[in-house]
Structure 1
Amino acid sequence: MKKVVKIKVKLVAGVSVLIILLFLFNIFAIGADRSFKINDYQAQVRILENGDMQVSEIFEYSFDGDFNGIIRDIGIKGSDGLQYFKASEYFPEDKELNYDQSSKGDMITYRIYDKSNNERKLFLLEYQLKNVINLYNDTAEFYWKFFDESNTSPIGHVKVEVVLPGEVSKEELKVFGHGPLDGKVSIQENSKIVYEVYRLSSGEMVEARILFPTSLVHKGHKIINENKFAEIMKEELGWAKKADREKNFNILGILLIPLIILLNIFLAIRLYFKYDKELKPEVEIDYYRELPQDITPAVLSKLMSIQGVGTKDIMATLMDLVRKKYLKIEEIQDRKKKDYKFILIESDTKNLKEHESYLIQWLLYSIGDGRSVTLKEIKDYAKSSRTQRSFVHNYNNWAKKVGQEFKKYNYFGESKEGLKTAVKVIFMELGAIFLLLVLGILFRVQWFIFIPLLFAAGFTGFGVIVYSALIRKKTQAGVNEYTKWSAFKRFLLHFSNMKDYEIPSIVVWEHYLVYAISLGVAEKVISKLKIILSNQDMSLSNSTYLFFMTDRSGRLNSSLFNSFDKVFSSAFANTSTKSSTGSGGGFSSGGGGGGGGGGGAGAF
């Protein structure tokens, strides 16, 4: 009975923990899935004769998910505090809302309650701030931030209308705006000043500064016994000049971005025509009926293919060594499947190319017993975790030796002039941008203006440098040989259709066929040879490896090639798989000294 009770207690506890975890996960999921946007902010600010400020502001929110309300931070620095605050839903309903109020330093935070779910709403906030106007001997000053750097919510559009308490001519008004450089401030009729910003980013401020006659606020209390007009105008002039410099640098940066991109595109085109455009062959050839040059199949593969050597070239090299009678092939037939053994018959390899002798050393000595090696032994060696790394290492060494042999023929130019030119131009571009950046810092221009410019130069410049580093242009000799071997490849594919072509001996075809392997057309050639040899009285007794490609009826098939291809493809598939699983005008940028500091807005 006790055991049953214990099991039930454990079960209930486990289920309870699971429910709590699911509940918490659901809360986090809900929180992660919801979002809001502030599309628009409209404010009407009325300056009173006593120096107070009445504010009526409308926020337009778009909610995606469930929300309990909105947040508004209002800075009171530069005033004698709030006289009243009222919050309402303006659309879709018209109702007054409850709120909580807290303060920290000069910032008052209002949490306004109004549940919202996947909808658009307008909120009306009304409040009055006392004594916000500075009364100097020679001017009255309204200096106020509606949003400051602490605002974390971007706003799609901001418009603030400031209405003075009496009529005044435009000549008696001086208006300034601080914030984004694309912000606008204008003087309109009836002593109205309008501030407007599109796309206010988080961390950006919107600040108004207005100078007007003191007679408009004759009941004001914040009297400062000093002349300030000239000092303020000088300060604003300095900020305006700085803003103009920033705008000019911004325009310069914007103009330079497409210019640098176009310059780098032109540079890439120039590099192509000067260093990368293929030369024309000295002679155009349709068919080449004999071997163009005495090179090994692996070297041919480097000439003809961008990818370079592969497993097919190991096969071609082995068959060429069989043809040259350094190796011989022996067929092994057991109950399960057919296998092939490569037997060493000539150990003196001094007349071979280095990559040919290395292949014998690798396959017959490292994998085999020094006298022979079977395809199954090669496959098992590559699959074994103990010898797998050695297999890949030896293959890479063999490919490197093929590359060393390939370089001797000078098929490709070694010039790095294209890369040198690209590096010079890109560094000149980056140097010019760095100079502009230094000038910008000296003139106190915001440095992040140059980020898109640096990105454009760096991204496109890096692409040009990579391209120029990868340029591999064939020499005239390389183009001529490439053309001949391409014509030879066409001959191999079409020889059976040539009525005037005299079929050469089996020995010659064995020589041709090793190159057909590296050219990737061996199976097609074999299929055509089946037809021709079956109709010719030609013995395979003189062959070195074609004999092992005949079936019982004496007809050619590609079983030897297929077996070899499967073994090496499987071997490299195993090695790559295991190694990869290791794992009034514009705003200026100055200011910030005004009162207020409507910190920002948000939602909860």
Structure 2
Amino acid sequence: MKKNLVLIAFVFSIFLLPQHVFAVDFSITNTEINAYLQENGDVQVTEQHAYQFDSDFNGITRTLIPKEQTQIKEFQAFEKNKPLDVEQEENLYKIYRSGSEQEIQIDLSYTITDGVEVYTDLAQFYWPFFDSSNESTYQNMDIFIHPPQTTGEVLTLGYDEAYGTSSIASDGIVHFAMGEVESGTNGDIRVAYDASLFPTANLKEDNTIREDILANKAKLKEEQAAYANRRDLLSRISPYIVSGLFIYVIVLVIAVWRKKNRRLREVERSSKQSLYLPNQEMSLPATMLYMRNMSASSELISAALLDLVRKGYVKRDGESKFVIVDPNTDFQHESILIEWLFNKIGENGVFSLSDLDAYTKNKDNHSTYNSDFAKWVQAVKEEVKQNHLFEKKKRVRWTAGIVSLLMIPFIIILGVHSLFTWMALSIFLSLTLLLFAIIYQPKTIQGVRISQQWKELSSNYKNIGERDWNDWMSDEQMQAYIYAIGTGNKSMQKKYEHLSKNLSATTTTDSSLQTNDLVMFVLIASAVTNQFDKTDSTVSATTSSSGSVPGGGTGVGGGGGGSGAF
């Protein structure tokens, strides 16, 4: 169960937790980029970024990843015409301007060498000012492309986020009004002018590109129309698919709930509420592990040691020492526990808390200790498994799992087509089915009976009177106390301690332990538990990295970039 909970948390974290956690709380409220194309093929760029900070900050960042055969040069930063310090780490520029909870406006300027690609008919500026590696959302972005001279002949094209956002002014200036640009997206812009406007630029290739641009433009238009048709179709069928999946989940939940209640009623009819200890259908360690939803803990091993003493396989020698009396136990996990504690941690059939302390202080023993503990727990689980307390329900679980996995392509398609509401609902229902397929294992009649009887003991134990408790056999008193320790039931432990103090004289002579011994065992069990907890707290090395230098861009020609703050 513990592993299942970890898995559930992991799966939900994939969808619910942000992928990046920023130390600085900020937003980029407005961005304006002006690219001035030069006759020699270089591009002079100015950028103006408005930041709203809601925390302390040291500055902003700008990532500029040049395309192949181009370079970024002469990068500068200003605020109100005042130069700011800039630190470059390959493609990352850090602009230092500290402050706290305020709005600032930073101007950047740089030159893209050979940014214009000249062909025999046209010269194009085909550039990604950001790419999918960008971690910040631009709330409003405007990009202006200025030709070297006034012209009326212009071809424009925008990709991804830039598609359909361009307009051409009478003087040939192209405006890409992109609005909000979300993080992790591409948005290449492409503008082509007559090649004669760039007389001193180097010829990139001795061929024409007009037809290529026009064909590309027509293809994008067709793809956009097809995209719109698919989106319309998906928006019409999604309610039926999601509703059908929702109905399936509801039917599944109702069927599981009704079956559970039916078994509970059957167990209630065949069982009587009682203050007495339930009949043991399994060993105490197996019962405790089962009642702990198969999650082992330090209390469980302490209780298992006490149970060996109760059954007479082990006796206590002094205040903190235990000695084997009979190694021939009833269950395999008891033999494993004796071998582990009395021969591996202890020596020659003797185990003491000092042995445990010395053993766990040596870090070289931690791995072996955890391995031995896991081996013992697995043996206890085997006893639980042999009693068939859970149903496998393979057909129901496999069906739910397959339906969940079949929803993944549909969820991806919804996301690609920006149908985020239906995508979110589909993810929730798909995850619900997947988790159901992983964790659903209903209890058998026997499993329900054992669970109900021990739960009733736990809830009724606080109401047990001194006379009723005194009527119990000493072994029953011990079993109840060991169960309370192994399951971590503090109220039962306190009740037992209270009754044992008031009724110490009622302990029978044939009891394996006297009340004073039990009090001592409480202290010993606590010490063993604490020592076991220490072995679990191993030091794990963690590595973290910050301010990493971006790699290649995902925009056209390997270019790209983004913005941030620090």
TM-score range, shorter chain: 0.5 to 0.7
Counterpart pick for 1:510 among 478, 485, 490: 478
How far the C-alpha of 1:306 sits from its partner, in A, is 2.5
Aligned twin of 2:449? 480
The reply to whether residue 148 of structure 1 matches residue 127 of structure 2 is yes
- For the Cα contact (< 8 Å) 2:31–2:50, is it kept in 1? yes
CA distances 1:224-252 after superposition (whole Å, capped 9, x unpaired): xxxx9999988754442233234545677
Aligned twin of 1:241? 222
Letter of the 1:504 counterpart:
W
Map of 1:47-196 to 2, 5 A cutoff?
Answer: 60-62=48-50, 120=105, 145=124, 148-149=127-128, 156-158=141-143, 177-180=157-160, 182-184=163-165, 195-196=175-176
The reply to whether residue 360 of structure 1 matches residue 338 of structure 2 is yes
Counterpart CA distance in 1 for 2:299 and 2:479 is 16
Query: Over aligned residues, Cα RMSD in angstroms?
Result: 6.4
Count of matched residue pairs? 459
SS in 2 for 1:495: coil
Letter of the 1:244 counterpart:
A
Are the structure 2 counterparts of residues 268 and 191 from structure 1 closer, same or farther at C-alpha, using a change threshold of 3 Å?
same
Aligned twin of 2:177? 197
- For the Cα contact (< 8 Å) 1:302–1:308, is it kept in 2? yes
How far the C-alpha of 1:57 sits from its partner, in A, is 10
CA distances 1:490-538 after superposition (whole Å, capped 9, x unpaired): 23222037x777733434423433333334345313323135415xx53
Give the TM-score, by structure 1 length.
0.55
SS in 2 for 1:468: helix
Give the TM-score, by structure 2 length.
0.59
Aligned twin of 1:543? 511
Aligned twin of 1:98? none
Counterpart pick for 1:306 among 293, 300, 306: 293
- For the Cα contact (< 8 Å) 2:33–2:143, is it kept in 1? yes
- For the Cα contact (< 8 Å) 2:403–2:433, is it kept in 1? no
Are the structure 2 counterparts of residues 428 and 532 from structure 1 closer, same or farther at C-alpha, using a change threshold of 3 Å?
same
Counterpart CA distance in 1 for 2:562 and 2:260 is 66
Gaps of 5+ in 2: 1-26, 38-42, 52-56, 67-76, 82-94, 99-103, 111-118, 195-208, 544-555
Letter of the 2:295 counterpart:
G
SS in 1 for 2:309: helix
Counterpart pick for 1:562 among 523, 535, 538: 523
Counterpart CA distance in 2 for 1:273 and 1:530 is 46
SS in 2 for 1:494: coil
Gaps of 5+ in 1: 1-34, 46-54, 74-88, 94-114, 126-133, 135-140, 212-227, 333-337, 438-446, 550-556, 584-591, 593-598
SS in 2 for 1:397: helix
- For the Cα contact (< 8 Å) 1:177–1:206, is it kept in 2? yes
Map of 1:281-360 to 2, 5 A cutoff?
Answer: 281-282=264-265, 283-284=267-268, 287-294=273-280, 295-330=282-317, 332=318, 338-344=319-325, 346-349=326-329, 352-360=330-338
The reply to whether residue 410 of structure 1 matches residue 388 of structure 2 is yes
SS in 1 for 2:471: coil
- For the Cα contact (< 8 Å) 2:303–2:525, is it kept in 1? no
SS in 2 for 1:308: coil
Counterpart CA distance in 2 for 1:66 and 1:348 is 72
Counterpart pick for 1:528 among 467, 485, 498: 498
Aligned twin of 2:206? none
| Bigger Rg, structure 1 or 2 | 1
How far the C-alpha of 1:298 sits from its partner, in A, is 0.9
